[in-house]
C-alpha cells in the first residue's frame, strides 16, 4: 500500500504539517494565557489555575487549526521537494500530479483519523472540565455535564437542565432544594427565559416536602434567582458545538421533538461530519500552489499565499454559516459552501497550469 516514494513524500508532508500544527497550537495557547490572566483575582483563581485552564483548551485549538496546518504544512513540505527539484524527478519517473496527491492523502490519512478521534473523544471533555473547574473557583458553583443534560450546584440547591438554546432559554428544568442532607423541595419547569437578571420559569410544578405530607403547587410563571447568567450560557453553547456526533444527533432529535429550531446544532453536526473533506480541500489548495500558477514563485510567496487562502476559507465559512441560519438556508449548504468554493478554486488552479 505504501511504496518507497509514498513514504518519502509522506515523511516530508507529515513533518511539515505537525510542525505547523504545534506552532499554531502553542501560539494560540500563549494568546489564551495572556487573555485569561484577567481571571486572576476572581474567586480563588491564581496563575497556576490559569495555566491549567489554558492547557485544557489545547486539544480544541489543535483540532481547530489542523486543517490550516495541512494547507501551510503542505505548501512547505511540497515546496521543499520542488525547491530541490525532487518534484521534477518524481514526475520524470512517471508519477503524475494525481499520484503525488494520492501519496500525500495516504500519508495524512492516519493523522486525520487521530485528529478526528481527538475531536470526538477529548475536545468536549477537556472543555467541559475546564469550565467546571472555572465555575468552582470563581462562583463556588459546581457544574457537571452529562449525556442527559447540564447540572448546577448552588449552595444546597441542585439544578438540572435538559437543553439550552439561544444562550437565554432553558428547557425541561428540574430543581432540588436541600436543607443540609434533607430534601425539602422538588421543582420542575417546562422552560426558563432570562429577563432582568433573573430566570422566569414557565409552567412550574413544586413539591414541598415536610415531616407530615407533600404539598404540590403550580405556577404559570415564577422567578428563580440563579448565578448562572447569559454570559455563562454562551460558554456552555460553545462547548455544545464540540459535542461528539452521536450526542449532537440525540440533542437535535430532542429539541426538535419539543418544537425548537435545531438549525444551529445541525450546522455544528454538518461541520463535524464534513471536517475530513475540509482537510482534503486544504491539501488540494497546497498542491495548487506547487503545480499551479504559483509554482514559479519563491517559497516565502507560496507560504504567504497558503496563509491567505486559509484565512480566506476561514472568513468565508464564518460569514456563510451564520447567514445560513438567519436566512433559513439548509445547514448542509452553510457547512459545505466554503469547502465547495475553495475546492473549485483548487481544481481551477491545478488545471490552469496543465
Q: Which residues, in sequence order, are bridge partners of residue 194?
A: 199
Helix axes 47-55, 4-36, angle to 10 degrees: 150
Q: CA angle, corner 85, sides to 83 and 86, nearest 5?
A: 105
What pLDDT tens digit does each residue of the chain (354 aa) get?
Answer: 567 777 777 888 899 999 999 999 999 999 999 999 998 888 788 899 999 999 999 999 999 899 989 988 888 888 888 777 777 777 777 777 777 888 888 888 889 999 999 988 888 788 878 877 887 777 665 556 565 667 777 777 888 887 776 666 788 888 898 888 888 899 999 888 888 777 889 999 999 988 778 888 999 988 887 766 666 665 555 555 667 787 778 778 877 776 767 788 888 889 888 999 999 899 888 888 777 666 667 767 777 887 788 888 888 888 888 788 878 888 889 889 999 999 998 888 877 754
Give the position of cell 495524512. Answer: 108
Is the alpha carbon torsion for 192, 225, 166, 158 positive or negative? negative
61-92 burial, b for 16+ CB within 10 Å, e for fewer?
bbbbbbbbbbbbbbbbbbbbbbeeeebeebee
pTM of the model: 0.74
Query: Among residues 96, 93, 28, which one has the least CA distance to residue 58?
Result: 28
Amino acid at each position: 500500500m505504501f511504496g518507497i516514494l509514498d513514504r518519502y513524500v509522506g515523511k516530508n508532508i507529515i513533518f511539515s504539517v505537525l510542525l505547523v500544527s504545534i506552532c499554531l497550537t502553542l501560539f494560540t495557547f500563549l494568546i489564551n494565557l495572556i487573555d485569561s490572566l484577567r481571571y486572576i483575582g476572581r474567586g480563588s483563581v491564581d496563575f497556576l489555575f490559569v495555566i491549567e485552564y489554558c492547557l485544557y483548551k489545547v486539544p480544541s485549538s489543535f483540532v481547530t487549526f489542523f486543517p490550516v496546518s495541512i494547507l501551510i504544512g503542505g505548501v512547505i513540505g511540497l515546496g521543499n521537494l520542488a525547491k530541490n527539484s525532487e518534484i521534477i524527478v518524481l514526475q520524470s519517473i512517471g508519477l503524475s500530479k494525481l499520484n503525488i496527491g494520492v501519496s500525500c492523502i495516504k500519508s495524512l490519512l492516519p493523522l486525520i483519523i487521530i485528529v478526528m478521534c481527538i475531536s470526538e473523544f477529548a475536545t468536549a471533555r477537556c472543555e467541559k472540565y475546564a469550565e467546571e473547574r472555572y465555575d468552582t473557583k470563581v462562583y463556588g458553583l459546581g457544574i457537571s455535564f452529562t449525556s442527559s443534560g447540564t447540572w448546577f450546584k448552588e449552595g444546597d440547591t441542585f439544578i438540572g437542565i435538559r437543553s439550552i438554546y439561544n444562550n437565554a432559554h432553558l428547557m425541561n428544568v428540574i430543581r432540588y432544594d436541600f436543607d443540609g442532607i434533607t430534601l425539602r423541595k422538588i421543582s420542575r419547569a417546562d422552560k426558563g427565559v432570562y429577563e432582568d437578571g433573573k430566570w422566569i420559569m414557565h409552567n412550574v410544578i413544586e413539591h414541598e416536602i415536610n415531616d407530615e405530607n407533600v404539598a404540590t403547587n403550580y405556577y404559570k410563571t415564577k422567578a428563580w434567582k440563579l448565578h448562572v447568567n447569559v454570559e455563562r450560557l454562551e460558554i456552555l453553547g460553545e462547548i455544545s458545538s464540540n459535542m461528539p456526533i452521536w450526542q449532537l444527533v440525540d440533542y437535535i432529535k430532542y429539541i426538535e421533538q419539543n418544537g425548537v429550531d435545531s438549525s444551529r446544532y445541525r450546522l455544528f453536526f454538518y461541520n463535524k461530519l464534513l471536517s475530513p473533506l475540509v482537510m482534503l480541500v486544504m491539501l488540494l489548495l497546497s498542491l495548487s500552489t506547487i503545480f499551479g500558477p504559483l509554482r514559479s514563485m519563491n517559497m516565502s510567496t507560496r507560504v504567504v499565499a497558503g496563509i491567505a487562502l486559509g484565512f480566506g476559507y476561514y472568513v468565508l465559512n464564518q460569514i456563510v454559516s451564520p447567514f445560513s441560519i438567519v436566512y433559513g438556508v439548509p445547514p448542509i449548504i452553510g457547512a459545505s459552501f466554503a469547502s465547495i468554493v475553495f475546492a473549485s478554486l483548487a481544481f481551477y488552479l491545478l488545471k490552469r497550469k496543465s
